[in-house]
């Protein structure tokens, strides 16, 4: 992968990284801007409980040991990946998967589209450890970065597609995360954003009652909130489709409409 996609100043030094390498964690890059330094953000729903990246980190570090054996793989995550594949094509050469977890979707894309270069970003070293084992056979085609969705350590206009599957409800500052996705997409690049569909009564019960009871103050957006977040960041041609019954999920597809002329920025770009 061309090194120029990375914003070098955002990364830890080689010696800091080596401390992780000694722990047998062969992740290629470590962003400096991760929890708890980003815990200032708050959810964008009035009255929503405060939720921090530290909470997400603690949850997924615990869960990483058994994550790949979870029932949710069969009920929700794998069906989502199969749906997302339909939105991708061989022309999508550079793809970033945010909240990539144990790398299952990265490998699924790599198998289906052999010319694609992939980057997976996740907050949690435990998840990335498993991702690195899974992605090893693909060599430099799949790069892994430890980072936070609200401070993406990439240059502007780099990716053809950004995917984000069942991770968004963990982001403390959801508007900023969307603005970052917009920033790093090339003009007319696409965002494929998936999260639990909380709009029906069953989805509301699962994602607004049960999941926060287990995970704390996470926030699943309604379809309308996703549209508003995307529009505020500068996305256009927003399309939304509902899938699943037992575990319903919503796919939001949006195009990063921006001028390719340098210096022209969207309305609500992250500060
Ligand atoms: C439920 S898992 C989904 C993993 C994967 N996308 C999938 O479809 O199987 C959510 C992932 O989001 C990651 N995550 C949570 N908050 C994050 C943040 N602020 N930045 C980056 N990743 C985050 C977690 O570490 C976890 O790996």
Please tell me the predicted confidence (pLDDT) of residue 159: 97
pLDDT above 80 for 83: yes
Instruction: Identify which of 52, 82, 167, 168 to mutate to test ligand 1's pocket (most ligand atoms within 8 A of the CB).
Output: 167
What value does the mean pLDDT take over residues 204-228? Answer: 93
Q: Who's near 195: CB < 8 A, 6+ residues apart?
A: 166, 167, 168, 169, 220, 221, 226, 249, 250
**Residue nearest to ligand 1 atom 27, measured at CA:** 101
Cα within 13 Å of Cα(235), Cβ side:
30
The yes-or-no verdict on residue 39 having pLDDT over 90 is no
Instruction: Evaluate if residue 186 carries a pLDDT over 50.
Output: yes
CB 123 within 8 A of CB 35: yes
**d(CA 140, ligand 1 centre) in Å:** 22
The tens digit of pLDDT for each residue in 12-23 reads 766 666 555 545
Q: How far apart are CA 85 and CA 269, in angstroms?
A: 28
**Which are the contacts of 106, defined by CB distance < 8 A and separation ≥ 6?**
97, 100, 118, 120, 131, 134, 135, 142
Residue nearest to atom 26 of ligand 1 (CA): 101
Mean local confidence (pLDDT), 14-42: 59
How much distance in Å is there from the Cα of 168 to the middle of ligand 1? 8
CA 167 to centroid of ligand 1, rounded, Å: 4
Query: Measured in angstroms, how far is the CA atom of residue 149 from the centroid of ligand 1?
Result: 9
Instruction: Quick: pLDDT tens for 116-156.
Output: 999 999 999 999 999 999 999 998 899 999 999 999 999 99
pLDDT digits (tens, 9 = 90+) for 86-97: 999 999 999 999
- Taking the centre of ligand 1 as the mean of its atom positions, its distance from the CA of residue 56, in whole angstroms, is 8
Q: Which of 61, 69, 48, 4 is nearest to 220 (CA)?
A: 48
- Separation of CA 163 and ligand 1 centre (Å): 11
Residue range 70-84: mean pLDDT, rounded = 96
Q: How far, in Å, is the centroid of ligand 1 from the Cα of 151? A: 14
Q: What's the mean pLDDT in 190-213?
A: 95
Task: Output the ligand 1 site: residues, CB below 6 A.
Answer: 53, 56, 60, 77, 99-101, 104-105, 122-124, 127, 148-149, 165-167, 170-171
Domains of the chain by start residue, with CATH: 3-269 (3.40.50.150)
Residue 140's pLDDT is what? 87
> Where does the chain show beta strands of DSSP type E?
29-30, 94-98, 117-122, 142-146, 159-165, 185-196, 236-243, 249-255
**Atom of ligand 1 lying closest to residue 172 CA:** 19
Q: How high is the pLDDT of residue 19? A: 57
Question: Looking at residues 179-187, what average pLDDT do you find?
Answer: 97
Specify the ligand 1 atom closest to the Cα of 35: 19
- By CB neighbour count within 10 A (0-12 exposed, 13-18 middle, 19+ buried), where does 233 fall? buried
């Amino acid at each position: 992968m061309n090194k120029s996609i990375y914003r070098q100043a955002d990364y830890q030094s080689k010696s800091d990284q080596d401390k992780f390498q000694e722990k047998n964690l062969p992740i290629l890059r470590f962003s400096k801007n991760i929890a708890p330094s980003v815990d200032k953000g708050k959810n964008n729903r009035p009255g929503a409980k405060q939720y921090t990246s530290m909470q997400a980190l603690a949850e997924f570090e615990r869960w990483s040991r058994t994550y790949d054996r979870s029932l949710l793989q069969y009920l929700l995550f794998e069906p989502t990946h199969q749906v997302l594949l339909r939105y991708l094509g061989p022309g999508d050469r550079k793809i970033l998967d945010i909240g990539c977890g144990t790398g299952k979707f990265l490998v699924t894309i790599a198998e289906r589209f052999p010319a694609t270069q992939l980057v997976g970003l996740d907050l949690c070293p435990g998840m990335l450890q498993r991702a690195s084992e899974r992605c090893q056979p693909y060599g430099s085609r799949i790069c892994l970065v430890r980072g936070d969705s609200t401070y993406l350590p990439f240059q502007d206009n780099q990716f053809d597609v950004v995917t984000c599957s069942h991770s968004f409800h963990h982001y403390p500052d959801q508007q900023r995360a969307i603005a970052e996705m917009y920033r790093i997409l090339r003009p007319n690049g696409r965002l494929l954003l998936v999260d639990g569909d909380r709009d029906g009564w069953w989805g509301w019960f699962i994602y607004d009652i049960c999941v926060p009871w287990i995970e704390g103050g996470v926030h699943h957006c309604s379809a309308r909130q996703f549209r508003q977040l995307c529009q505020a960041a500068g996305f256009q041609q927003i399309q939304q489709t509902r899938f699943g019954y037992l575990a319903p999920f919503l796919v939001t597809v949006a195009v990063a409409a921006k001028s390719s002329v340098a210096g022209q920025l969207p309305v609500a770009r992250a500060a």
